[in-house]
């Protein structure tokens, strides 16, 4: 694609030559016709190159999305296989008390994933579900009150989702890797008194706390979710936004 872009600009630059010739011999009809043909050919090449680059970008985007989907499915398949193997082991050993606990754990995971899938914003749902493919230094756990659908409950669901994604990314890029246990970020979405609250609880170390504060402040400037107070630590941070009025 880089070679194609470079060639496109080179071809466009060649149109300068006939244009300069017209300035020297402005009355030459043959030169005018030649110049128009030259510029037309350059324009056609430019348009064709633009279309080819656009198709190449779309193909690359689709390929990247497909690869991310495959990685996400593999992670989920691995988790479910682990749970089923543990459950099968308890059944074979006749440990019914352990079996019940394992089934309840699987049920809780299913409920959590179901709540995530009902958030109403595809970009946020995809980001949360594929988070494990993005980093090994931070784990993300999401707890959602029953019935939360951002598209139905807030004025600008896409901006709210974007703020949540960017906030998680600040933690992801600030988490200190290689410190033993994996850092954990818990996100809880809840509603109360006409407000949506997004609570972030971080358990782990940061690369640089001051840098985290600066990045978070910049990220939340003008965002759709605002902090409940100016003084918040990276260990616990709560953001809020108003819920949409019923019938609005």
pLDDT of residue 149: 94
Least confident stretch, 85-94, 188-197, 206-215:
85-94
Residue 197 banded pLDDT, cuts 50, 70, 90:
very high
* pLDDT tens per residue, range 91-114: 888 888 888 888 888 888 888 888
Backbone angles phi, psi at 120, to 5 degrees: 95, -10
E strand map for 133-182: 138-144
Least confident stretch, 9-23, 39-53, 156-170, 188-202:
9-23
Distance CA 59, CA 51 (A): 12
Which among 184, 190, 121, 125 has a CA at the least distance from the CA of 156?
Answer: 121
**Which is higher by pLDDT, 207 or 28?**
207
Give CA separation, 60 vs 39, 52, 57, 223, in Å.
Answer: 31, 12, 5, 30
Asked whether 182 and 228 are in contact (CB, 8 A), the reply is: no
pTM: 0.70
pLDDT winner (highest mean) among 59-63, 161-165, 221-225, 227-231: 161-165
> Angle formed by the axes of helices 96-117 and 122-129, to 10°?
150
Burial code (b: 16+ CB inside 10 Å, e: under 16) for 98-118 equals ebeebeeebeeeeeeeebbeb
pLDDT of residue 109: 84
**Which is higher by pLDDT, 70 or 222?**
222
Residue 245 banded pLDDT, cuts 50, 70, 90:
low
């Amino acid at each position: 694609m880089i070679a194609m872009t470079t060639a496109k600009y080179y071809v466009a630059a060649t149109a300068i030559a006939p244009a300069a010739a017209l300035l020297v011999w402005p009355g030459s009809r043959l030169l005018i016709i030649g110049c128009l043909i030259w510029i037309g050919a350059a324009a056609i090449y430019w348009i064709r190159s633009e279309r080819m680059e656009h198709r190449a970008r779309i193909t690359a985007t689709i390929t990247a999305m497909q690869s991310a989907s495959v990685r996400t499915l593999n992670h989920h398949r691995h988790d479910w296989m682990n749970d089923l193997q543990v459950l099968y082991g308890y059944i074979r050993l006749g440990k019914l008390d352990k079996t019940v606990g394992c089934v309840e754990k699987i049920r809780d995971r299913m409920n959590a994933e179901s709540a995530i899938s009902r958030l109403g914003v595809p970009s946020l749902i995809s980001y949360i579900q594929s988070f494990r493919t993005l980093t090994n230094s931070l784990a993300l756990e999401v707890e959602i009150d029953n019935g939360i659908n951002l598209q139905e409950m807030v004025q600008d669901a896409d901006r709210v989702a974007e703020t949540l994604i960017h906030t998680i990314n600040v933690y992801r890029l600030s988490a200190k890797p290689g410190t033993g246990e994996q850092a954990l970020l818990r996100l809880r979405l809840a509603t109360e008194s006409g407000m949506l609250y997004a609570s972030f609880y971080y358990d782990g170390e940061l690369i640089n706390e001051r840098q985290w504060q600066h990045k978070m402040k910049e990220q939340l400037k003008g965002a759709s979710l605002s902090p409940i107070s100016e003084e918040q630590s990276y260990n616990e941070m709560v953001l809020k936004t108003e819920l949409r009025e019923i019938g609005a």
